[in-house]
Chains A and B, each alone.
Chain A
Amino acid sequence: MRRRRGWRQHRIVPTSEGDVVPLSELAPGEAGVVVDLGGGSWVLGRMTSLGFTPGAGVRVVQNRGHGPLIACVRDIRVALGRHQAGHVIVRRTAE
């Protein structure tokens, strides 16, 4: 079953470990592993060269539920527009 398009919501719903969610749904401090990437080829090219590839660990540093967010991937910090963060699908991990 396809997941609801929850990333459009403005409130971050707490998720539990193992859930597969867009990166934009992780609260600050939550971490996950990238399972899939979407978006146009420009976005994909930029995201992959910055380190977002399936299997990469991601941690959300800041996420206010609207506007851009900050995520940490492969030791670097990346600011992402909400729309771009919605294209990164992660499996939540405990951390």
Chain B
Amino acid sequence: MIAKEANVEKACTAELEVERADVLVALAGQPNVGKSTVFNALTGLDQHVGNWPGKTVECMEGSLECNGSTYCVVDLPGTYSLTANSAEEVVAREFIIRERPDVVVALVDAATLERSLYLVAELLALPAKVIVALNMMDVAEGEGLHIEPHVLEAALGVPVVPMVATKKGGVQALVETIDRVAQGQTAVNPKPPRIREDHLQVMGEIEGLIAGYVPAPYPEDWIALKLLEGDGEISRLMEQQMPAERWDAVHAVLREHDDALVAVASGRYEWIGRMMRAAVTRPKPGRIGRTERLDRWATHPFWGLAILGGVLALVFTLTYSVGVPLQEALDTYVLGALAKAAGLMLAGAPAWVSGLVVDGVIGGVGFVLTFVPVLAIFFAALAVLEDVGYMARAAYVMDGFMHVIGLHGKSFLPLFLGFGCNVPAVLGARVIESRRARLLTILLAPLVPCTARMAVVAFLAPAFFGSYAAIVSWGLLLLTLVLLAVSGLLINTLVLKGKRSAFIMELPLYHAPNGRNILLSVWHRCVEFVKKAGAVILPVSLGVWALSVLPHGDVETSYLATAGRWIEPLGGLIGFDWRLIVALITSFVASENSLASLGVLLGVEPGQGLRNALAAHYSAPAGLAFMAVQMLFVPCVGTVAAVKQESRSWGWTLFSVLHLLVLSLLAGAVLYWLARLGGL
């Protein structure tokens, strides 16, 4: 009980959270073991996204009430091990070591028990009260695996709770076990794997060298083990903590035993083997399961691509048949009505007030909100594909192709989503583990021609090229994709000094999607986008609006126009007059704005009149240059907001904007002069 009281009012996460809880529970597990299903079953709808300071990793937090106590449950990122291979692993282990949760629930997949227990082997070596939740017992039975939880419990020395989380089986038992362990009623005497004989001596040597230098709250033997495993993060930590010559001694020992990582891992698998022999009876290997049968199609060099094509076609059909009409309805009925009502209410007020409210605020908020229907569909599609297990297959099928631009398979789906809208493309990059590949995907996503930009080009091309419009549009599309590939190569080799990241990816077993998980994930991601992107989009669209009406209330005499005229001489290099420059700047808020701006600036309504006016005003080379710039320019402030949100760095956001700016203007200039020299 004393221990419990000491833990009262423990902060829920490392972030300054106001929420306090009686008992802190951490949920750990490898990817694809059904962690979000268990988390959702434990916490219900009472959950929110928490961020680890300084990391791009998110932990979900939720709470549950049991026997009058409040339990705060933190869903740690899914990790295969606790060695610093990625930010997720660092977050997971730092949370357990620093926040000292009262209970750590280690979720394992009964159907892939051997691999799943690897993380348990690591968790048991930490000073934490571990409960093993044996999920997917039904799948394991279906595969013919018979597991005896009590035998496993005796062998591991910690409580084992069998579960079928998809059917809520075992959830109550898990909660009760958590409660008993937190109250100290159930003893936990973990029997972690011991280091193998052949490395015992080295381990002792290292422990002797680092004794007294290990900063709290890290356990000394754990630090020694991680050093032996060659953990980069821990090596850096100890190098800072120790006098140089002492660290050199440690380093010398480690260099002599650079095979230790494999030996330690083998030791863990030997330990797992003993657990398996004790608790599991398995059928003869060689059975062909459902997953293998499905994979014969899904990973086939031809049919795999065909299936992927079909899946993507379905996603886009859904977007256009449901998302776009919803978006338009939202725009006309909700925002239009709102704008009208505001206009009426502000009829007596000065023109600038109603302008600010109607065009600035409602326009800006509306722009954020109109993203939501399309985003929700994309997020839902991504979540379903991920949950079913198909995402990994899509990545596998596209790996060869993506290698061409310095990426690997996992970047394909996020980038492809960009054809619909660049925002989910940038946000979707989150599925990529390695920071380098994720960053490159985020930087390349804005170059994928989204529907809004294609719409602008589709409108403009006939004005300048008549019956050749389709060819010109396709040419521009092709040019964009080539420039995307070239940018990928250049950024990879010059900026990220690219070592291509290794492609190692589990192909999880297929299973039916869980509607609840998907809805929750779509909800959280949409809310997050509206909150975070809204904070960037609103001020920027207000700013552009203000510049385009001040000081006299019309675009022609606005500051924006003045600025446009001021840089007109520069624009002349690519055939732009001040109107095109202004149109381009307003397209920063949303690509389709450029047509509306041109309409106002040329004094015509968007439509046929605008095409004729454009053709009369501008030469074909200037038109071509404008279309090319529009294709490659910063797609919209929403994308920039997403880049900031995902890269967590203003530096990379600025890099992204500058990259697009330089690329688009260069392409515009080259095309302009080529077209002029070609006599267009």
Binding site for B on A (CB under 8 A): 37, 39-51, 53-56, 61-62, 64, 66-68, 70, 74-81, 83-84, 95
* Nearest CB on B from A36, distance (A): 8
State whether the Cβ of B372 lies closer than 8 Å to any Cβ in chain A: no
From B330-338, B503-511, B556-564, B668-676, give the one contacting chain A. Answer: B503-511
Chain B residues with Cβ under 8 A from A51's Cβ? Answer: 114-115, 118, 269
Q: Are A48 and B262 in contact (CB under 8 A)?
A: yes
The reply to whether the CB of B488 lies closer than 8 angstroms to some CB of chain A is no
Mark B209-247 against chain A: 1 for CB-CB distance below 8 A, else 0: 000000000000000000001101000000000000000
Interface positions of B from 264 to 282, Cβ below 8 Å from A? 265-266, 269
- Add 12 more A-B contacts to A48-B265, A84-B504 (CB < 8 A): A40-B502, A42-B85, A44-B230, A44-B262, A55-B266, A55-B269, A68-B409, A74-B114, A80-B503, A81-B399, A81-B503, A95-B286
> What are the residues of chain A within 8 A of B507 when measuring CB–CB?
70, 76-79
Q: Provided the pairs A45-B85, A64-B301, A68-B399 are in contact, do residues A53 and B265 lie with their beta carbons within 8 angstroms? A: yes
In the assembly, what is the distance between CA of A37 and CA of B395, in Å? 24
Instruction: Give the CA-CA distance A12 to B295 in the complex, in Å.
Output: 22
A-B residue pairs, 10 tightest by C-beta: A81-B503, A48-B265, A49-B81, A49-B80, A67-B400, A77-B507, A53-B266, A74-B114, A45-B85, A79-B396
Cβ-based interface call for B479 (8 A) = no
With contacts A45-B83, A61-B295, A68-B399 known, is A78 near B114, CB below 8 A? no
Q: What is the minimal beta-carbon distance from A23 to any residue of chain B, in angstroms?
A: 12
Alpha-carbon distance A40/B292, docked complex (angstroms): 30
Instruction: Contact check, B400 vs A66: say whether CB atoms are below 8 A apart.
Output: yes
* B69: interface (CB < 8 Å): no
Question: How far in angstroms is the closest Cβ of chain B from A83?
Answer: 7
Given A46-B80, A50-B80, A80-B504, are A62 and B115 neighbors across the interface (CB < 8 Å)?
Answer: no
Chain B residues closer than 8 Å to A37, beta-carbon distance: 262
Interface: B377 (CB within 8 A): no
Query: Does B195 interact with chain A (Cβ within 8 Å)?
Result: no
Compute how far the CA of A68 lies from the CA of B505 in the bound complex, rounded to whole angstroms.
10
Assess the A70–B504 pair: CB atoms within 8 A. no
8 Å CB contact of B299 from A50, A70, A74: A70
Hey, which chain A residues are within 8 Å of B301, CB to CB? 64
B453 in the interface (beta carbon within 8 A): no
Which residues does chain A contribute within 8 Å of B129, judged by CB atoms? none
Judged by DSSP, the binding face of A is mixed
Write the chain A residue with the least CB distance to B265.
A48
CB distance from B296 to the nearest CB of A (A): 9
B contact residues around A83 at 8 Å (CB): 502
- Chain B residues whose CB sits within 8 angstroms of the CB of A66 once the complex forms: 400
> Nearest Cβ in chain A — how far from B147, in angstroms?
13
Nearest Cβ in chain A — how far from B255, in angstroms?
13
B contact patch SS: helix
Complex CA gap A76/B506 in Å reads 7
Within 8 A of A (CB), among B300-318: 301
Closest to B505 in A: A79
- Inter-chain CA distance A80–B291, complex, in Å, is 18
> In the complex, what distance in Å separates the CA atom of A78 from the CA atom of B504?
7
Residue B166 is within 8 A (CB to CB) of chain A in the complex: no
The residue in chain A whose Cβ has the minimal distance to the Cβ of B292 is: A61
Number of interface residues of B (CB under 8 A): 39
CB distance from B433 to the nearest CB of A (A): 9
> In the assembled complex, which residues on chain A have CB atoms less than 8 Å from the CB atom of B392?
79
In the assembled complex, the Cα of A79 lies from the Cα of B408 at a distance in Å of: 12
B112 at the interface (CB under 8 A from A): yes
Nearest-neighbor residue (CB-CB) of A47 within chain B: B504
29 intermolecular pairs with C-beta atoms under 8 Å apart: A39-B502, A40-B502, A41-B232, A44-B230, A44-B261, A44-B262, A45-B230, A48-B261, A49-B80, A49-B118, A49-B265, A51-B269, A53-B262, A53-B266, A70-B299, A74-B114, A76-B115, A76-B507, A77-B295, A78-B505, A79-B392, A79-B503, A79-B504, A79-B505, A79-B506, A79-B507, A80-B503, A81-B504, A84-B504
A46 to B81, CA, bound (A): 8
Question: A41 contacts which chain B residues (CB < 8 A)?
Answer: 230, 232, 261
**For the complex, what is the distance from the CA of A41 to the CA of B83, rounded to whole Å?**
10
Q: What is the CB-to-nearest-CB distance from A70 to chain B, in angstroms, rounded to a whole number?
A: 6
Smallest beta-carbon distance B260→chain A, Å: 11
Q: Which of A47, A62, A75 meets B112, CB within 8 Å?
A: A75
Cα distance, A51 to B400, chains bound together (Å): 24
The residue of chain A having its C-beta at the shortest distance from the C-beta of B83 within the complex is A45
Query: Could you tell me if B112 and A45 are in contact, using CB atoms closer than 8 angstroms?
Result: no
Q: Which of B187-215 contact A (CB under 8 A)?
A: none
Q: Is the CB of A50 within 8 A of B504?
A: yes
Question: Which chain A residues border B295 with CB–CB below 8 Å?
Answer: 61-62, 70, 77
Bits for B375-412, please: 1 = Cβ < 8 Å to A, else 0.
00000000000000000100110011000000011000
Q: Which residues of A contact B80 (CB under 8 A)?
A: 46, 49-50
A54 to B268, CA, bound (A): 12
A40 to B408, CA, bound (A): 18
A75-B140 Cα distance, complex, nearest whole Å: 11
Q: Which of B79-95 contact A (CB under 8 A)?
A: 80-81, 83, 85
A24 CA to B601 CA in the complex, in Å? 62
Closest chain A CB from B434 CB (angstroms): 8
- A45 vs chain B, min Cβ distance (A): 5
Give B325 Cβ to nearest chain A Cβ, in Å. 38
Contacts of A48 in B (CB 8 A): 81, 261-262, 265-266
Q: Smallest Cβ distance from A49 to chain B, in angstroms?
A: 4
How far does the Cβ of A81 sit from chain B's closest Cβ, in whole Å? Answer: 3
In the complex, the answer to whether B299 meets A62 with C-beta atoms within 8 Å is yes
Bound Cα distance from A95 to B286, whole angstroms: 9
- When chains A and B are docked, how far (Å) is the Cα of A54 from the Cα of B503? 20
Chain B nearest CB from A66 CB (Å) reads 7
Residue of B nearest to A51 (CB): B115
The complex places the Cα of A39 from the Cα of B115 at a distance, in Å, of 21
Interchain CB contact under 8 A, B502 and A42: yes
Contact present for A70 and B265 (CB under 8 Å): no
Point out the residues of chain A lying under 8 angstroms from B81, CB to CB. 45, 48-49
Bound: A27/B505 CA distance, A: 20
Q: Report the minimal beta-carbon distance from B353 to chain A, rounded to whole angstroms.
A: 58
Q: Do A43 and B504 form a contact, CB below 8 Å, given A54-B266, A74-B115, A77-B291? A: yes
Q: Would you give the shortest CB distance from B181 to chain A, in whole angstroms?
A: 26
Q: Which residues of B contact A40 (CB under 8 A)?
A: 502
Q: CA–CA, A39 to B503, complex, Å?
A: 12
Does the CB pair A75–B502 fall under 8 Å? no
Contact indicator B115/A45 (Cβ below 8 Å): no
